[in-house]
Amino acid sequence: MQQEGLPPPAVASFRLNLRRLLEGERGLLAEDAIRPLAELPGAEGLEPHRRAGVEALRRTAVVKLNGGLGTSMGLDRAKSLLEVRGGLSFLDLIARQVLALRREVGAAVPLLLMDSFHTAEDAARVLASYPELARHDVPLTFLQHRVPKVDATTLAPASSPSEPGLGWCPPGHGDLYTALGSSGVLDALLDAGIEYAFISNADNLGAVVDPAILGFMADEGVDFLLEAALRTAADRKGGHLCRLKEGRLALRESAQCAAEDEEAFQDVSRHHFFNTNNLWLRLPALADALAAHGGFLPLPTLVNRKTLDPRDPSSPAVYQLETAAGSAISLFERAAAVQVPRRRFSPVKNTDDLLAVRSDAYELGADWRLTLAPDRSSPPVVSLDSRFFKIIDRFEARFPWGPPSLLRCDSLTVEGDITFGARIIVEGDTVVRSERPTTIPDGTVLNGDLIL
């Protein structure tokens, strides 16, 4: 890392995570070391704070985490370049959301993308189409650091002589704080009079600035705020919010759960809230925390087991040492969480999610925000046969006329090589099966268990 010119805080952060791995520390958070959260303040009750939030918007930046490649969908470019609606990508919509916010506020709210070394060039090409986003005092992008993959057998740096880049990986979005500091972006924001930052994933188009939440943060003197939503059965394997025995809030990821605690971890009636990764930061407090810890935040280490070449499951096993941005909630004394409606959480992790957000189950508003249709309280649960739909090119080929209507769909399961015609409507809980390549005729209404 030093030979590659990575800054000392990034090296120190990796050194801490590596030491934990070498010493056998798994970063587990046991069930008996935490307390479940019975309730959180609801975002709908924060309207009295809206005026303070509108005033604070002039001192707020929007930060999007744009490091994902979408390799699970067969992509070798930034996932945020995928088309969402009408030829517009995630990045197009993000740019337009911020420009709409600027018109509303009457101030040049900064937009910043944290890119990885895989996505920076892709993002720059899209942003070049929106020159009005640029500010002279704050950059549009900054780079997430990179760290070595660790050989799972030798615990030495993993390497691939034919493809040296395979030996490196991003260190998770918890690197946000180190990258803001070491890049000089944090100082630039503070010098420009920016006090707050709203942070969210680039693939979550429901995450836009809410002045009521910002006003609550300003009025209550909160330094770190996390937006949480109610877990459903579909969220049971993901992380959850809890409280440590000493009282501080904590984020518990699946990698921090021991096997014996798995049942309690997945019990959504016990652990009610998951992290949307929509985060709010008071930047002077972040600057103080970085200064206190040598330029990085000592977040829990997440050990992800992968293969050196993600495209080749037979390549050597490696560890990728990562951290999660939301886990910083435990490090700030003045931290809080609020419960937000599901419409603020519409991530796209795979083609199942992509079909849902492209469908009429979501609406694109005048402010370029993508949210659930008014009649829906949760998104449709989509499960497409991975043999035929997992890779983006195969997925696109099977929806040549675009997505079916999912407005009245609770769940859609597709088993087999099935191509969808035009103007198809899916209702209720639908399962479609076929043992041979099949095309569903135009205008078909699907409902129930169907064998084609």
Assess contact for 227 and 177: CB atoms under 8 A.
no
Under 8 Å between Cβ of 302 and 322: yes
Written as one letter, the residue type at 88 is L
Per-residue exposure over 217-244, b if at least 16 CB sit within 10 Å of its own CB, e if not: bbeeebbbbbbbbebeeebeeebbbbbe
Catalytic residue (choose from 79, 306, 349, 390): 349
Dihedral angle sign, alpha carbons of residues 58, 108, 123, 92: positive
Q: Strands 111-115 and 34-35: what pairing?
A: unpaired
CA distance 202 to 83: 13
The burial class, CB within 10 Å (0-12 / 13-18 / 19+), for 87 is: exposed
Q: How many secondary structure helices (H) and strands (E) does the chain include? A: 12, 25
**Is residue 345 within 8 Å of 370, Cβ to Cβ?**
no
Three-state DSSP state, 311: coil
Strands 425-433 and 445-451, by their bridges, are parallel
Under 8 Å CB-to-CB from 46, ≥6 apart: which residues? 212, 213, 215, 216, 338
Half-sphere exposure of 427 (CA within 13 A, CB side): 5
Q: Tell me the C-alpha distance between 196 and 284, whole Å.
A: 8
Here the tokens at position 24 are: 């056998």
Using DSSP bridges, classify how beta strands 88-89 and 302-307 pair: parallel, antiparallel or unpaired.
unpaired
Active site residue 306: no
- Adjacent-strand bridge partners of 142: 114
Q: Which residues are catalytic?
A: 349
